[in-house]
Amino acid sequence: MKDIHEYDDIIALPHPESASHPRMSLLERAAQFSPFAALSGYDDAVKETARLTDEKTVLSEEELAQLNQKFALLMPHIKERPEVTLTRFVADEKKSGGRYLTETVRIRRLDLIHRLLITGDGQKISLDDIADLQIGSRKTEPFE
């Protein structure tokens, strides 16, 4: 059996301090044992790859004709800044594809040469990205 008083001669001595290395704070000591991510950014890359996007659908001739008819109805009323609800394709900035967005906007201008719809807040939307267009709101009939 060991002698329980074996270290009595050093137990009361102060903790040794290094003259060349200052004492480390508890935060610095804890940082030595923090987890290490060998593949930093890997989780973000996996999430980005798993994120789904929609493909832009090509409108049929009939759908294009209906959309063009709606634009023709809008043209004489552009100065009134009509309110429309449109569904449009928004391309994804990071990968191929995108998503369909439905929003209600006021039209400031229709630029048929550059094929742009310019909203009241200055947003430029390509006519080729518009999949559907509803003239007026539910509260009012279009062009009463």
For residue 116, pLDDT over 60 is answered with: yes
Confidence at residue 49, expressed as pLDDT on a 0 to 100 scale: 76
Edge-to-edge order in the sheet of strand 124-126: 124-126, 116-119, 98-111, 83-91, 130-135
Spatial separation of the C-alpha atoms in residues 59 and 34, rounded to whole Å: 55
Q: How confident is the model at residue 96 (pLDDT cuts 50, 70, 90)?
A: confident
Q: Token digits for 109? A: 């201008």
Domain annotation for the chain: domains and CATH numbers: 61-135 (2.30.30)
Stretch (H or E) spanning 83:
strand 83-91
State the Cα–Cα distance between residues 124 and 122, nearest whole angstrom. 6
pLDDT at 139: 46
10-28 pLDDT tens trace:
888 888 888 898 888 898 8
